[in-house]
């Protein structure tokens, strides 16, 4: 992890000096994580892909404004967060709205024992969909991306207490929704 941070730092500095290959390497390194974060927040894979592209494009344009080079990941996810929530705030077409009907409170129909990995994945994906976008994002940043509370607070531009309350509320909900899976 330390090595990776050092390398990211070097790549960011090189990219700032105009080294195109250095930025290409940063894209290669971070595209999967950024895409999966956006995929879980906005849910639609095509939208997630477009937003990932936009995130890297903006990061490249504003790389000179990154004050703390060591904080490139948080800064990148901050851009992705802005992209995702701008997208979520846009009014959806009627057909999309029907497709995205909330499933709040619905139990996941899975058997408790002997569950297959694919079913388990579907159950978790379904459980995540029941969270609000902010809760889903917080769970994604903590559980799947491994950021610290303070880093998440910077990405979401809110106090640490808000991050914690979002995460703990989400975990309570997930605990109930996934109860049939966990037995």
Query: Quick one: 16 or 71, whose CB is closer to another protein?
Result: 16
Instruction: Report how far apart, in Å, the C-alpha atoms of 100 and of each of 104, 115, 130, 181 are.
Output: 11, 27, 11, 24
Least Cβ distance, residue 91 to another protein (angstroms): 26
Please state the closest distance from residue 131 (CB atom) to another protein, in A.
Answer: 11
Identify the H or E element spanning 101: none
Q: Considering beta carbons, is residue 85 or 171 the nearer one to another protein?
A: 171
Query: Which residues lie near another protein (CB under 8 A)?
Result: 15, 18, 20, 23-24, 27, 31-33, 35-36, 39, 45, 49, 52-53, 56-57, 60-61, 117, 120-121, 123-125, 128, 139, 142-144, 148-149, 164, 167-168, 171, 174-175, 178, 181-182
* CA 174 to each of CA 65, 101, 113: distance values in angstroms, whole numbers, following the listed order: 38, 19, 18
Phi-psi region of 110 (alpha: psi -120 to 50; beta: other; left: phi over 0): beta
Least distance to another protein, CB of residue 72, Å: 15
Distance CA 79, CA 119 (A): 33
């Amino acid at each position: 992890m330390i090595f990776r941070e050092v390398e990211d730092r070097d790549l960011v500095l090189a990219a700032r000096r105009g080294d195109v290959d250095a930025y290409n390497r940063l894209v290669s390194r971070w595209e999967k994580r950024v895409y999966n974060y956006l995929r879980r927040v906005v849910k639609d894979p095509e939208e997630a892909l477009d937003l990932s592209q936009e995130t890297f494009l903006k990061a490249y344009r504003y790389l000179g404004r990154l004050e703390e080079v060591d904080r490139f990941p948080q800064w990148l996810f901050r851009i992705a967060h802005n992209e995702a929530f701008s997208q979520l705030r846009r009014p959806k077409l009627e057909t999309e709205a029907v497709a995205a009907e909330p499933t709040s409170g619905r139990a996941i129909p899975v058997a408790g024992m002997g569950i297959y990995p694919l079913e388990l994945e579907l159950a978790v994906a379904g459980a995540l969909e029941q969270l609000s976008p902010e809760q889903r994002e917080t769970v994604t940043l903590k559980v799947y991306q491994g950021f610290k509370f303070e880093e998440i607070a910077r990405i979401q531009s809110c106090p640490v207490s808000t991050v914690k309350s979002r995460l703990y509320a989400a975990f309570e909900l997930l605990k109930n929704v996934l109860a049939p899976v966990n037995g």
